[in-house]
């Protein structure tokens, strides 16, 4: 089970493609005393390894590694080499018989992968396996390794104990996807008013839609979501948040995001960051108002699409209409109706900038049931009509 140093060195030269710098294949076989001729690489990865390894000792990690190698040795009955490529991930270099028909060869190699999974299951180790192409020339075997790793990108969406074969992958050609401008506009409108609960629900749904639209292409999906993070960041900075803070956090967050290997963790990271971004907006940080007025503002955000009256919010806060109205204006600086109208107008700007929705529909979406009243309020607060604002921004 313990790796021979010569095998480790020889397999590393093959996996890295640096064999050509050291000598001929035959010379290096003789130098290391290894006469295996690998044709194909499998990458075997312990499922959810970072999670299950967290908090466990080095001794535990050593035992897991020994169990994995031991079960591979039990399952694989043809000559092979192996090498760790990262913690919990192992490359298997297989010497294979001459290829028969393409379909039959692929069937046999997938069956071998299944046998490895069955063997590791006996010690409660769940593994996913990526399979590269067959190469007769040992100097290009590293291509099989790269293909095996790349084939596993689908694991981001699909889960555990899977087998990926680069020659069996579905067509991943990029296609023009739905830009989801209306959904993005709604998200930015929610960011603008600081509706955290609404933001999270909308984000999760939007990411599900994007994954399907990208045909579960991990790279395309991540790029689309990062563009949404940047849109949210821009909207928050426009609200008066510290741009230096936002931009510096964005750099580190996006870099880590591209290295996230599981969809559920990716979604959680995006949602947590959206909450952090929203908290940076000066327009949503009403720390100076009392909990009672914060409660009222929360109610307004949750019900902004409905017809909200002063009496309704006062009753929600268990105060008289007169006392609540006086308290709200004293703490917020404007009346409740003025606050509600301003909030709705702020939301409308995302729809006007990003969509071709009719003015009447935008008005309805943000809670104005009279399009003419919406237009008058928009001009009052923005000095433009909604149509003129749209033309100026496009």
Domain that holds residue 367: 291-393
Residues 71 and 137 in one domain: yes
Residue 345 in domain: yes
Report the percent of the chain where pLDDT is more than 90: 66
Residues 203 and 329 in one domain: no
Which residues, including other chains, have CB under 8 Å from residue 112's CB and lie 6 or more apart? 75, 76, 94
Residue 367 in domain: yes
Sheet of 80-86: strands edge to edge?
Answer: 80-86, 89-94, 40-46, 127-131, 163-165
Residue 176 in domain: no
Rg (CA), the chain: 29
Residue 175 in domain: no
Residues 116 and 17 in one domain: yes
The predicted structure's pLDDT at residue 120: 96
Residues 252 and 201 in one domain: yes
The predicted structure's pLDDT at residue 98: 72
Residues 219 and 332 in one domain: no
pLDDT tens-digit readout, 199-229: 999 999 999 999 888 877 888 899 999 999 9
pLDDT of 195 above 60? yes
Residues 160 and 233 in one domain: no
Question: What is the rounded average pLDDT of the residues 261-279?
Answer: 89
Cα dihedral across residues 372, 378, 381, 387: positive or negative:
negative
Query: Which residues are bridge partners to 83 per DSSP?
Result: 91
The predicted structure's pLDDT at residue 80: 96
Residues 118 and 247 in one domain: no
What pLDDT band is residue 148 in, cutting at 50, 70 and 90?
Answer: very high
Residues 296 and 215 in one domain: no
What pLDDT band is residue 394 in, cutting at 50, 70 and 90?
Answer: low
Question: What is the rounded average pLDDT of the residues 357-371?
Answer: 93
Residue 218 in domain: yes
Residue 173 in domain: no
Q: What's the whole-number average pLDDT of the chain?
A: 89
Residues 261 and 101: their CA atoms lie apart, in Å, by 34
Last residue of a domain, one of 168, 200, 227: 168
pLDDT tens-digit readout, 6-18: 999 999 999 999 9
The predicted structure's pLDDT at residue 46: 93
Residue 60 in domain: yes
Among the ranges given (110-114, 165-169, 192-196), the one the predictor scored with the smallest mean pLDDT: 165-169
Comparison of pLDDT for 274 and 302, the residue scoring more: 274
The predicted structure's pLDDT at residue 173: 47
Question: What is the rounded average pLDDT of the residues 43-60?
Answer: 90
Question: What is the rounded average pLDDT of the residues 299-317?
Answer: 89
Question: What is the rounded average pLDDT of the residues 253-258?
Answer: 88
Residues 140 and 193 in one domain: no
Q: What is the CATH number of the domain that holds 380?
A: 1.10.10.60
Q: What is the CATH number of the domain that holds 89?
A: 3.30.70.270
The predicted structure's pLDDT at residue 285: 52
Question: What is the rounded average pLDDT of the residues 76-104?
Answer: 90
Residues 335 and 360 in one domain: yes
Residues 114 and 145 in one domain: yes
Q: Judging by beta carbons within 10 Å of its beta carbon (0-12, 13-18, 19+), is residue 254 exposed, middle or buried?
A: middle
* Phi and psi at residue 250, to the nearest 5°: -55, -45
Residues 35 and 149 in one domain: yes
Residue 307 in domain: yes
Tally of domains in the chain: 3
């Amino acid at each position: 089970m313990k790796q021979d140093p010569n095998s480790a060195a020889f397999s590393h030269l093959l996996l890295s493609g640096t064999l050509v710098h050291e000598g001929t294949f035959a010379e290096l076989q003789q130098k290391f005393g290894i006469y295996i001729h690998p044709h194909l690489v499998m990458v075997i990865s312990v499922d959810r390894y970072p999670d299950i390894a967290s908090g466990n000792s080095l001794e535990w990690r050593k035992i897991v590694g020994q169990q994995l190698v031991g079960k591979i040795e039990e399952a694989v009955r043809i000559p092979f080499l192996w090498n760790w490529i990262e913690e919990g991930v192992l490359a298997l270099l297989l010497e294979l018989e001459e290829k028969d028909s393409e379909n039959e060869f692929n069937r046999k190699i997938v069956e071998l992968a299944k046998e490895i999974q069955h063997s590791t299951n006996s010690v409660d180790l769940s593994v996913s396996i990526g399979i590269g192409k067959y190469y007769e020339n040992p100097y290009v075997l590293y291509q099989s390794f790269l293909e095996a790793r790349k084939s596993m990108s689908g694991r981001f969406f699909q889960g555990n104990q899977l087998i990926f074969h680069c020659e069996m992958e579905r067509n991943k050609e990029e296609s023009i996807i739905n830009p989801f401008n209306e959904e993005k506009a709604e998200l930015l409108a929610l960011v603008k008013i600081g509706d955290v609960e609404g933001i999270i629900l909308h984000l999760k749904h939007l990411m599900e839609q994007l994954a399907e639209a990208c045909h579960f292409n991990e790279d395309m999906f991540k790029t689309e979501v990062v563009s949404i993070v940047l849109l949210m960041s821009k909207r928050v900075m426009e609200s008066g948040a510290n741009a230096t803070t936002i931009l510096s956090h964005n750099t580190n967050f996006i870099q880590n995001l591209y290295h996230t290997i599981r969809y559920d963790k990716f979604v959680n990271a995006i949602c947590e960051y959206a909450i952090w971004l929203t908290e940076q907006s000066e327009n949503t940080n009403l720390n100076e108002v009392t909990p009672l007025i914060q409660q009222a503002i929360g109610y307004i955000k949750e019900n902004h699409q409905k017809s909200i009256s002063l009496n309704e919010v006062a009753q929600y806060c268990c105060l008289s209409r007169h006392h609540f109205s006086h308290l709200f204006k004293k703490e917020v600086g404007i009346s409740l109706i003025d606050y509600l109208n301003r909030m709705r107008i702020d939301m409308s700007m995302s729809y006007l900038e990003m969509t071709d929705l009719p003015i009447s529909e935008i008005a309805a979406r943000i809670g104005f049931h009279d399009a003419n009243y919406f237009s008058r309020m928009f001009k009052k607060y923005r000095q433009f009509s909604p149509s003129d604002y749209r033309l100026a921004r496009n």
